[in-house]
Structure 1
Amino acid sequence: MAFEVSYNLENEQQFWDELDDIVSTRCQEHELIDNALRSYLNVTTSYKAEYLQTDYSVAKCVYRLIQGHLFSTHQEYVRRQIIYCLLQEDDNPTLHMVAAFLLYDGRNNSNDVTFEMMQTEGCFPRLVELIQTPSVQEDTQLHQMLLELMYESSRIQRLSWEDLMSIDDAFVLYLLGIIEGVSDDADDPYHYPLIRVLLVLNEQYLVASTTRHANGHGGVTNRVIKALSTHGMTYKTFGCNLILLLNRESETSLQLLILKVLYLIFGNPTTAEYFYTNDLHVLIDVVLRNLIDLPSDSPAANALRHTYLRVLHPILANSQISKPPHYKREEVLRLLHLLTASGNHFAPVDETTVRLVKRCTSVPWLQLPPINSNHVSPSNGNLSATQSPVENSIGNGQKELARRTLGMSVQGGGESATSVLEVAAHTEKPGVQTPSRAKVVES
């Protein structure tokens, strides 16, 4: 959009007043709507350095437009014009404002119409291009905004074959390289959008490969797993952060994305030992804790339990834990037994859980020698093999007893259990929180 209006505003209040006038414009002709949008982009980009320096102020500016009369009466047309602007503009301030609009508008509407329109108009290859553009890389706020937009617009719909073909090995290695070089602080806000883009790309590859095989076509190369297969020793920080996020995350859909990556990593011979041994031990602790935290009377929790067990099997069978000394062998066996022991659930143990537990316990190193079969009541400080401390009307104290008995060393992960992979088929809507036994007890 070419800018046709210049502004000379003296203070921040004048800026917001002018913005309110623009977004309140009442018009019907497309030419007048275009002029109003040009004015909006002109005033926001002209004064971005002065009044829109923070993410909050940018969001406030975007929501002025979303809630204004101009957009509310011409939503489809305004969205399409903003998308065309994303496809055509190269000016960083303009890109920042249009990307912010698409991100917040997409999150704001429940029917995903914005992200679907972006998909129809072919925005994904453009995002791949922009994220790698040197001038964009120098603008950290814009770069992070585009990463967030790629993640949000890709996790609610399937990418096309052409979209997937726009991703090459260099793009994935570029993202992994940034994660490796940003900082050692897992709380660095730059880590999260980078990791989430890689997670959603892996999901897209997994779904695409499954679909193409089902339709009799050849598979598609998963470039995320390929990058870890060929350069895993160089990009260890990604794996470390996966475990940290799995330990902290309470949103089911995000946890599923993490678990799907883990499923493929441990199921691939070239990446099965990708994690440092110490990090692998932490992962085992997280898995054990989350399995015991899942309530036993929730259908959603059952789905998570099943997929957790699907992930646990390749970890036990293929990672370093399969070699002596076997980390927490007794604790793993004890927990697996508890998942299928009669009387430990409000409802009978389902057949899928029994089958998946049997698969896990069939791993050779878990079979011999047999574990100590002495069972002591939880009141004596040990975990009974026939009575779970997290059964029936359990309390927080009993749950903590179970965790201590299982030797869980992970702290600060919160009480929420982590969602689980149902491989390619299992998904959840964004925003849904993972079931947690602690939450059930507290309520």
Structure 2
Amino acid sequence: MSLAMEDDFGIVYVVENAQQFWSELDDILTMPRGAPPTLQQLDGMMNRWLGICAIYHELYLQTPLQLEHAVDLLLDSELWAFHSERMCENLAETAKSNTDPHAQLVTFNVLLRYGQRKTDFFRAQRRWGTLVPLLMDHTLVEIDENEDGVIEAKLRLVGVRLLYEVCRWQKLSVAELRVFDDSFIDYLFDLVEQTRHVQDETFNYSVIKLIVAFNEQFMVASICDREQSGVEQNRVLRVLMRRLGSSKTFGENMIFMLNRAQRTSDDLCMQLLVLKLIYLLFTTKGTEEYFYTNDLCVLVDVFLREVVDLDEDSESLRHTYLRVLHPLLTKTQLKDVPYKRPQIKCALESLVRDSRIHDINPTTKRLVERCLGGEWCVQLKKADDVSRSSTPSDSVAPSRSHLGLPASVDGMGSGTPGKTLKSSRSAENMVAKGGIRVGAVRRPSNASAGSFSGVATAAPSTSTSKPPVPYPRRKGTASSEHVERLHVERPSHSHHIDLSSQSDAGGEPARTKLRKPPPAPVAPGVYSAPPPIPPKRRKPPAVPVRSGRQVTVFETIKTSATSPLTR
């Protein structure tokens, strides 16, 4: 498809493909050689470039990347490099006089792109004072959000972005802010709610950035008026207070924007503006609980990350986070919801730690002390003190031997002072009264011998029972080799044993007193069957060690020690 365009000089342009389109743009922006061009020729070059971009916009400038590339061709040309001021004036007049939406879209994108390169361009109040009403008109256009690629939607987006840049770089007076009345601010909040389900979040986030930029302007401009009249003049806060229940998407997306912010200059500025509005919501009566509790928890996670990760160049942003953190923990629902309080305390203390290694900013120290002086932190410190006092450090658990017995057992006999059992000795070597050794009541299970739950009677059983069945020793349960050769009789009842070390007057070795509680009633003739004896280890196969011409000699493998399972 080919379209024809005729410029002011009678030149007709017919473009048939994309390659020819980009070639024509390069030719138009090439300065003529020889005599210097006149002002009329310079204006004609600008008008030809704008005209060909407007006519073929829907064919070759459909995507934002293509349009951005065409604008960069203009900004990088000699025409713009030497005559940028005159070209800006021409574009501003074209935006006000030309009613072609495609020409306006290209014009606004040139102004936006140039302002992003040179921020002083947005500070010219004389130029933008006449363009702001036009940008507001494009913002107020009703558009069906389900339709994609509508030229009015593209104009609305670039209009919102230009308004944000103007409010970001200029300081508007109270008189200049009157054009942004309550109905316009309320409409911006409606746009946020209407576009919450749109897949492309660019426009939604752009409107939120414009709202927080307006909030900054009203905050600065109303300082003097509030001191004189005593009435809050912040129009953004006043409108939001009237619609707290119908602007939940606005609060949710503000937190999402903070969470997704990068380390670019634009995102750093956006974070400052968003945090200032959040601070107002936390400190204004009636708006403290505007956010959901789950959103506040996400906000705490963002604060924990940012206050620690921000570098020294972003110290002012860290101070803003700390200023907002205090009312976040003391004014909102989090004053009753202890969410990550130990982590917050640790992160705050890390900011003012190691003052001997690096200098601590006095403002940072003051803000950290303010946060740590909150009621939430006072309660946390009290809870820590109570937990420490409930578990004193001087209470040491008694040491135990390798069999699980206490290293020191108090005497429980006839009042004779008990001796200390050394943990290195085996309890099985102790001789008990009545000729019974502790090894006779040893449990053949993996349970701790110190508990002795389920130990049989200590004295030899006089009842008729089956002959004792020897159990294989367990290797490695005690260091004494004597313990490994003991075979005990399986108990039929469960008793408790108290061991007390005592010596008689004759210097006899210490004996163990066994105190037997009343036996539990057991049905006559009922005995516990012993577990089956493990199978013996198979003999290793013979291994050939040498061979002759006809005879091969085999030799069995010798183990280092006899297996306990064969005994």
Q: Common fold, TM-score beyond 0.5?
A: yes
Higher relative contact order (CA 8 A, sep 6+): 1
- How many Å separate the matches in 2 of 1:164 and 1:136? 29
Where does residue 39 of structure 1 map in the other structure? 48
Query: Is 2:297 the partner of 1:285?
Result: no
Alignment correspondent of 1:225 = 237
Q: Is the 8 A contact 2:122 2:128 kept in 1?
A: no
Q: What does 1:422-437 correspond to in 2, within 5 Å?
A: none
Distance 1:83 1:117, change over 3 A: farther
- 2:176 matched to 1:163? yes
Is 1:270 the equivalent of 2:289? no
Which segments of 5 or more consecutive residues in structure 2 lack a partner in the other structure? 1-5, 389-567
Partner amino acid for 1:175?
L
- Tell me if structure 2 keeps the 8 A contact 1:186–1:241: no
Compare the two structures and name the one with the higher helix fraction.
1
In structure 2, what is the Cα distance between the partners aligned to 1:113 and 1:50? 34
Change in Cα spacing, 1:291 to 1:345, as seen in structure 2 (3 Å) is farther
2:62 is paired with a residue of what secondary structure? Answer: coil
Deviation, structure 1 residue 94: 1.2
Deviation per residue, 1:320-352 (Å, 9 max, x gap): 112x33333343334334444x43773254432
CA contact (8 A) 1:151 1:200 kept: yes
What is the CA–CA distance in structure 2 between the aligned matches of 1:69 and 1:350, rounded to whole Å? 48
Worse overlay, 60-69 or 325-334: 325-334
Shift of 1:35: 2.8
Give the equivalent residue in structure 1 for 2:136. 128
Matched letter for residue 65 of structure 1: L
Given residue 61 of structure 1, which amino acid in structure 2 is its aligned partner? A
1:209–1:219 Cα contact (<8 Å) kept: no
Taking structure 1 as reference, are residues 132 and 106 closer, same or farther at Cα in structure 2, changes over 3 Å only?
same
Change (3 A) 1:226 1:91: farther
Aligned residue number for residue 208 of structure 2? 195
Aligned mates of 1:199, 1:177 — CA distance in 2: 15
Taking a change above 3 Å as real, the CA distance of residues 301 and 347 of structure 1, as seen in their structure-2 partners, is: farther
Matched residue, 1:317? 330
The two structures have a TM-score, normalised by structure 2, of 0.59
Counterparts of 1:21 and 1:136, CA distance in 2: 39
The answer on whether the counterparts of 2:211 and 2:236 sit within 8 Å (CA) in structure 1 is yes
Q: 1:116 to 1:240 in 2, by over 3 A?
A: same
Whole-angstrom distance in 2 between the partners of 1:3 and 1:209: 50
Q: TM-score, normalised by structure 1?
A: 0.74
Per-residue CA deviations over 1:234-271 (Å, capped at 9, x if unaligned) read 11111111111111212322221221121112121232
User: Relative to 1, partners in 2 of residues 1:218 and 1:96: Cα closer, same or farther, differing over 3 Å?
Assistant: farther
What secondary structure does 1:371 align onto?
A: helix
Q: For this pair of structures, how many residues does the alignment match?
A: 366
Q: Quick one: structure 1 residues 313 and 31, their matched pair in 2 at CA, closer, same or farther if it must change by over 3 Å? A: same
Deviation per residue, 1:78-127 (Å, 9 max, x gap): 11111122233332111101001001111123xx3422336544122332
CA positional deviation for 1:176 = 2.0
Residue number in structure 2 paired with 1:351: 362
User: Is the 8 Å Cα contact of residues 252 and 295 (structure 2) preserved in structure 1?
Assistant: yes
Deviation per residue, 1:125-148 (Å, 9 max, x gap): 332222113479952222212222
Tell me which residue corresponds to 1:406.
none
1:84 equivalent among 77, 83, 93: 93
Match of 2:115 among 106, 124, 148: 106
The 3 A distance-change label for structure 1 pair 65 and 278 is same
- 1:139-150 matches, within 5 Å, as 139-150=152-163
Alignment deviations for residues 400-430 of structure 1 (CA, whole Å, 9 cap, x no partner): xxxxxxxxxxxxxxxxxxxxxxxxxxxxxxx
Offset from partner CA, 1:214-246 (integer Å, 9 cap, x none): 8x6888732222222111211111111111111
2:193–2:250 Cα contact (<8 Å) kept: yes
Measure, in 2, the Cα distance between the counterparts of 1:229 and 1:41.
45
* Residue aligning to 2:124: 117
Which residue does the alignment assign to 2:378?
A: 367
Quick one: distance in 2 between partners of 1:116 and 1:233? 37
Paired AA for residue 235 in structure 2: R
TM-aligned CA deviation for residue 310 of structure 1? 0.8
1:48 Cα deviation after fit: 0.9
- Decide which moves more: 113-122 or 263-272: 113-122
Q: Does 1:261 align with 2:280?
A: no
The aligned amino acid for 2:18 is E
More displaced 10-residue stretch of structure 1: 6-15 or 46-55: 6-15
Distance 1:319 1:99 in 2: 42
| Rg comparison, structure with higher value | 2
The code of the aligned residue for 1:351 comes to: P
- Contact 1:130 1:136 (C-alpha < 8 Å) held by counterparts: no
Root-mean-square deviation (Å): 3.0
2:523 matched residue in structure 1: none
- The code of the aligned residue for 2:245 comes to M
Distance 1:114 1:353, change over 3 A: closer
Which moves more between the two structures, 31-40 or 78-87? 31-40
- The answer to whether the aligner puts 1:70 opposite 2:79 as a matched pair is yes
**Aligned-partner Cα distance in 2 for 1:289–1:113:** 33
1:113 and 1:229 map into 2 onto residues whose CA distance is 35
Match of 1:206 in 2: 219
